[in-house]
Chains A and B, each alone.
Chain A
Amino acid sequence: MATEGRAGATASEIGPPVTERITVLAWLKHNLFSSWFNSLLTILVGYLLYIVLVPLFRWAVLDATISGTSKEACDFGGACWTLIKVRFGQYIYGLYPEEQRWRVDLAFAIAVVAMVPLFLERFRHRLTYAVGLVVIYPVIGYALFYGGWLGLPVVETPRWGGLFLTLVIAGVGITASFPLGILLALGRRSSMPVIKSLSVAFIELVRGVPLVTVLFMASVMLPLFLPAGVNFDKLMRALVGVALFSAAYMAEVVRGGLQAIPKGQYEAAMALGLGYWQTTGLIILPQALRLVIPGIVNTFIGLFKDTSLVTIIGLFDLLGMAKLIVTDPQWLGLAAESYIFAAFGFWIFCFAMSRYSQYVERRLSTGNRR
């Protein structure tokens, strides 16, 4: 006997659920105008967006100028993007001599090509390759950027600037602070008192001071500790400062991940006879790092933007160049355009990092279904 449902319909007669077709009007009504209060808010926000976005769009696009070679060309009353077009090279390369800029291009092209194998899923030895790359590429990069061999003229580091400098500092900072941060996190969780105290002291000390002071210290105090005559390059000091600073933050992010690994994982590894480094490298870190990818990328993105602080020690990164270019009397009053372009530059890279991290998370979580 078939079971009776509502209104006498039998179980076999009740069909699949009816899906409503959602029209635009229905969506609007449901999401934006569902109640008097919501409708009021919608209208208010709509009005605010209108009075902000429309003039902005008019200024930035409709009335803007990009043609010409001097400020006089900008006479439509809108944004003067001509500045960006004319000085584009300086935004990108800083004060690097124009005829040597190909070296920077070459070095970055090599970097991009060299990173391709890291994205190939079938390549088994990616970790060793990455480590090798991290060791070898700085040599190549430095040789090309600095010069002094094979007939390439030397370009001193104070002339490096713009986006190029930002990428160098951020790249070195990220690459150095990641392994260092992991080691500090492991050190903080160590049962050996000396290592633990040193790790804690370092982390708390560095996190307790602003990056600006770290850069000052690295720039002013580091030379005092070094033997007379040994003079560290200004950029080198900045790199050390940025790397150490970021490592302290990275350490805490990684430590959060390490804490989340259940004790059973350690016990299983110990019971199998794996030693400390084997357990940490094969079992714990792969899981812990996957857990805190959002935190790690957060730290990287913050670091990328913090590189602007090197302006304190006289280096001109992308933001520094944006500021410098505006001081040129030829381009007076175009601060907004300059800074907006710099902001846009930062945003592109940070957004790219963010998207990449989501891709990495998606790819790595396939194996983690508990």
Chain B
Amino acid sequence: MTGQGAEPIIIMRDVHKWFGEFHVLKGIDLEVGKSQKVVVCGPSGSGKSTMIRCINRLEEHQRGEIIVDGIELTSDVKNVEAIRREVGMVFQSFNLFPHLTVLENLILAPMWVRRMPRKEAEELAMSLLERVKIPEQANKYPGQLSGGQQQRVAIARALCMKPKIMLFDEPTSALDPEMVKEVLDVMIELANEGMTMVVVTHEMGFAKSVADFVVFMDQGEIVEVAPPSVFFTSPKSDRTKLFLSQILQH
């Protein structure tokens, strides 16, 4: 299942994963094209976070193929490191490094992974901080920032590696409602600039405005894939209808 004929940059074929006895991913088939935005939604426990965490090998799949940017994901460390350099990730709990300042958080990876000189890394970091609209926080520690600011720093940190793909694992779920908008605005801007994005979220407004297609997962399977115009107005499966009725109440 794919979007409209764009060259696929993420391919998942018949991907299965077990946590011990629990079969969490049951044959996932998904193709994401370059510059496409995919929103993944579904009830909790459906495996959506696990699925996107398989893309950058934070979780290992036991069966099936995952090919990212032409590189196949195997247990070969070289492949995994190559993929992780091109895939950025933003977490629900931000996961900023609390012992480093915001600026140091951002320049760490470019300096140590891409071997960028410090000056260049700092310039890049500052330009990204301006893009997420918090350049004045550069010398503060994460603990001194609000949740929305921390998440924007996390996005900037991922962008410092100039990835081709950005994965978002429920980026706004841990935020106070008034801060959700500032993070979504950054994500929408990013989307409009042509980044390939896979976003696990419950923010359907975001899906409607930016997504190329929406993926609904339930109990480890992909139940329905459709562009938002179709997905929200005329969902095909009963499970999708049930889910939408539950989350679109407020």
A17: interface (CB < 8 Å): no
CA distance A140 to B56 in the complex (A): 50
* Contact digits for A329-369, partner B, Cβ 8 Å, 1 yes 0 no: 00000000000000000000000000000000000000111
Assign chain B's interface to a size class: 20 to 34
8 A Cβ contacts from B140-156 to A: 141, 143-144, 154
Once A274-B109, A278-B112 are accepted as A-B contacts, the answer to whether A264 and B98 lie under 8 Å apart by CB is: no
Structural contact, B113 and A286, CB atoms closer than 8 A: no
Question: Could you say which of A97-105, A163-171, A265-273 contacts chain B?
Answer: A265-273
Structural contact, B85 and A273, CB atoms closer than 8 A: yes
Which residue on A lies nearest to B101, using beta carbons?
A367
Interchain Cβ contacts within 8 Å, total number? 72
8 A Cβ contacts from A215-244 to B: none
CA distance A271 to B143 in the complex (A): 21
B158: interface (CB < 8 Å): yes
Instruction: Describe A's contact surface by its main secondary structure.
Output: helix
A275: interface (CB < 8 Å): yes
A292: interface (CB < 8 Å): no
Q: Which residues of A contact B85 (CB under 8 A)?
A: 273
Structural contact, A267 and B58, CB atoms closer than 8 A: yes
B222: interface (CB < 8 Å): no
How far, in Å, is A276 (CB) from chain B's closest CB?
9
Q: Which residues of B contact A274 (CB under 8 A)?
A: 108-109, 112-113
How far, in Å, is A58 (CB) from chain B's closest CB?
53
Structural contact, A271 and B89, CB atoms closer than 8 A: yes
Once A268-B91, A272-B157, A273-B109 are accepted as A-B contacts, the answer to whether A370 and B58 lie under 8 Å apart by CB is: no
8 A Cβ contacts from A270-299 to B: 270-275, 278, 282-283, 286-287, 290
* Contact digits for B101-118, partner A, Cβ 8 Å, 1 yes 0 no: 100000011001100000
Q: Which residues of B contact A283 (CB under 8 A)?
A: 97
CA distance A370 to B141 in the complex (A): 9
Selected contact of A272 from candidates B57, B84, B144, CB within 8 Å: B84
Q: Which residues of B contact A268 (CB under 8 A)?
A: 89, 91, 95-97, 154
B250: interface (CB < 8 Å): no
Once A271-B87, A275-B81 are accepted as A-B contacts, the answer to whether A290 and B99 lie under 8 Å apart by CB is: yes
CA distance A290 to B101 in the complex (A): 16
8 pairs of residues in contact across A and B, judged by CB atoms under 8 Å: A268-B154, A270-B58, A271-B88, A272-B88, A272-B157, A368-B99, A368-B143, A370-B98
